[in-house]
Each structure stands twice: as structure tokens, then as C-alpha cells.
Amino acid sequence: EIVLTQSPATLSLSPGERATLSCRASQSVSSYLAWYQQKPGQAPRLLIYDASNRATGIPARFSGSGSGTDFTLTISSLEPEDFAVYYCQQRSNWPLITFGQGTRLEIK
């Protein structure tokens, strides 16, 4: 079973700073990696798919990179609305889909 490990668990930064979130897979997932943002009381929102493609309507300050087992979500300059929990998700043959445990991005 493919396990996704996200780090750090919590990231404390200030608006305007750069955020770098990591997601590591226990085995290769090729580029089948997506990132989601979730705010309290809301459903997750797709940010990045296929490791590096921004979803419709996602600001350019969000970018994704990586392939194989190591992936990164970067937020170039944090806006107040970016403080939330971020999840990565992979798709493979088995199990079909798994999520990481999440990274909480909080205001410093």
C-alpha cells in the first residue's frame, strides 16, 4: 500500500513569506499527485493536479513540483486567505487513492 507522508505537520509563517510543503510517497506514483487546500468547515479545494498543473481559478502563487516519490507545493508569497490545511493525494493501481495526513499552515 502506498503511504503519503507530509512534512512538516505544522508550518508557522507570516503573510508575504514563502511556504514550502513536502509530500513523500512510499513508492513511485509517477506524476499522479494532487494537492488540496481545506479551510475550517469547508470541503477541500483542488489546487494542483498531475504534480504541477494548477486547477482552474487557482492563483499563480501556488505551484507544484516533483515526480516519483518526492513532491513539493510552494506558495510564493502568502496571502491571509492561504492559511489552511493542505493535503496531498495520489492515485495508483492499488490502493487506488490515498491522502497524506495534512500540513497545517498557520499564521506566525
Partner 1 sequence: QITLKESGPTLVKPTQTLTLTCTFSGFSLSTSGVGVGWIRQPPGKALEWLALIYWDDDKRYSPSLKSRLTITKDTSKNQVVLTMTNMDPVDTATYYCAHSVYAKFFDYWGQGTLVTVSS
Question: Please, which residue, 28 or 98, has the CB nearer to partner 1?
Answer: 98
Cβ proximity of 87 and 22 under 8 Å: no
Q: How far is the CB of 15 from partner 1 (least distance, A)?
A: 25
Site for partner 1 in 1-60 (CB under 8 A): 1, 32, 34, 36, 38, 43-46, 49-50, 55-56
∠ at Cα 69 (14, 82), nearest 5°?
20
Q: Compute the distance between CA of residue 56 and CA of residue 36 in angstroms, rounded to an integer.
A: 13
Question: Please, which residue, 32 or 61, has the CB nearer to partner 1?
Answer: 32
Q: List the one residue out of 30, 3, 33 whose CA is nearest residue 21.
A: 33
Question: Residue 11 forms beta bridges with which residues?
Answer: 105
| Contact pick of 11, 82, 100, 105 for partner 1 (by CB under 8 A) | 100
Q: How far is the CB of 95 from partner 1 (least distance, A)?
A: 5
CB-CB neighbours of 47 under 10 Å: 23
Question: Residue 90 forms beta bridges with which residues?
Answer: 33, 98
| Contact pick of 101, 106, 107, 108 for partner 1 (by CB under 8 A) | 101
Site residues, partner 1 (CB under 8 A): 1, 32, 34, 36, 38, 43-46, 49-50, 55-56, 87, 89, 91, 94-102
